[in-house]
Structure 1
Amino acid sequence: MPTIFEQPADLLGAVGQHLGYSDWVEIDQQRIDLFADATGDHQWIHVDPEKAAAGPFGSTIAHGYLTLSLANLFLPQIMEVRNTSMGVNYGCEKVRFPAAVPVGSRVRGGGEVISAEELKGGVQVVVRVTIEIEGGERPACVIDTISRFFP
C-alpha cells in the first residue's frame, strides 16, 4: 500500500519520512534475458548460466541497470501523489550497486523522502529508493530519484 500525498505541496513536509516498501519481485532468467535483448548487453555473467555457474557469483546475475530500472516499477507501489495534472521522472542524483542480484533472487524497493522543494508550478522531490535482496546483507541498488509533480 503506497504512502499517499493528497497534493504535491504535501511532499514539502515529508522530508525524512520513510514511505514503506514495494512488493517482492523475483528476478528470473527470462527477465534477465529480455533485458539483455532490449539493451544489447549479452555479457556471459548475465545470459550464460553454464559459464556463470563457474564464475565469481556461482550463477547468472541481473544487470545493474535492470535492477536500477525496477525503481520505475517500485515507486508507484511506494508512494502516490494525488490531484496532479502531471508527474515527471526528472532524473537521478546518485546511483550505487552495492551487491549483485543472483538469478532466482527476490528484490523489493523501499523509499525515503530526501528533499522536496517548490518549483515554478509544482514540487520537486528526491526519493531515495533502496532495492534490497531478500536475505541479503547489502542492498542491490540505491538510487536518489528526482520527480516533479504539478497540481
Structure 2
Amino acid sequence: MPIVLDYRIENLDDHVGRDFGLTEPVKVSQALIDQFAQCSRDAQWIHVDVDRARASAMGTTIAHGLLTLSLTTAAQYELGVFPEDASQVLNYGLDKVRFLSPVPSGASVAIRVELTGVERKGSGRTLVRCRNTAYVADALERPVMVADALYMLVA
C-alpha cells in the first residue's frame, strides 16, 4: 500500500482529483467465475459453459460484470485510498457503473482509482467518491468498466 505523508480524514479535500494508481492485476480464472456464479446464483451459460462459449462470438466464457465490480473495494484498500485515521469504512453505494467491454476468462484485471469527491456529513462522518476504472491488464488503453463508488468514513 502506498504511503502518503499527511493523508488524513481532515485533509481529504486537498486530495480530490488524486490518482492513486493501478492495482496489481487479479487473474479472473474460470474457477473464480464459477465461484461467483454459484454465490450470485447467476449461472448464465456465457459465464459457466466453457464448451458452448467456445462456439460463441466471444470464443470463451466471460466474467460477470458484477464480478469485475466486486474487485473495486479491495482496490481501494490496496492503493491506500482510505486514510489510516478512519475507524470505520462503510460501503455507501454506487452512483454510476458502466461495463464497457467483456473480461474473458483467464484475463487479469487491474483497477485505477481516483478520489473524485469528498462531502462532510457531520458527526465525524465523511462521504468519499472514488472513480474505479478497470482494465484487462495487457490492454490498459481501453477500460472494461468504470464505476463511481461511495464510501462513508467514520473518524
TM-score range, shorter chain: over 0.9
* In the alignment, structure 1 residue 129 sits paired with structure 2 residue 128: no
Alignment match, 1:107: 109
1:47-67, Cα deviation, whole Å (9 max, x unpaired): 011100111211000000111
Gaps of 5+ in 2: none
- For residues 74 and 114 of structure 2, the distance between their equivalents in structure 1, rounded to whole angstroms, comes to 16
* Normalised TM-score (structure 1): 0.93
SS at match of 1:81: coil
Runs (4 or more) in structure 1 with deviation over 6 Å come to none
- For residues 143 and 134 of structure 1, the distance between their equivalents in structure 2, rounded to whole angstroms, comes to 17
Alignment match, 1:144: 148
- For residues 114 and 55 of structure 2, the distance between their equivalents in structure 1, rounded to whole angstroms, comes to 38
Size of the aligned set, in residue pairs, is 151
Summarize the alignment of residues 1-151 of structure 1 with structure 2, pairs less than 5 Å apart. Answer: 1-2=1-2, 4=4, 6-78=7-79, 79-120=81-122, 121-136=124-139, 137-151=141-155
Deviation at 1:6, TM superposition (A): 3.6
Query: Aligned letter for 1:131?
Result: A
Identity %: 36
Gaps of 5+ in 1: none
- For residues 88 and 18 of structure 2, the distance between their equivalents in structure 1, rounded to whole angstroms, comes to 23
8 Å CA contact 1:7, 1:82 repeated in 2 = yes
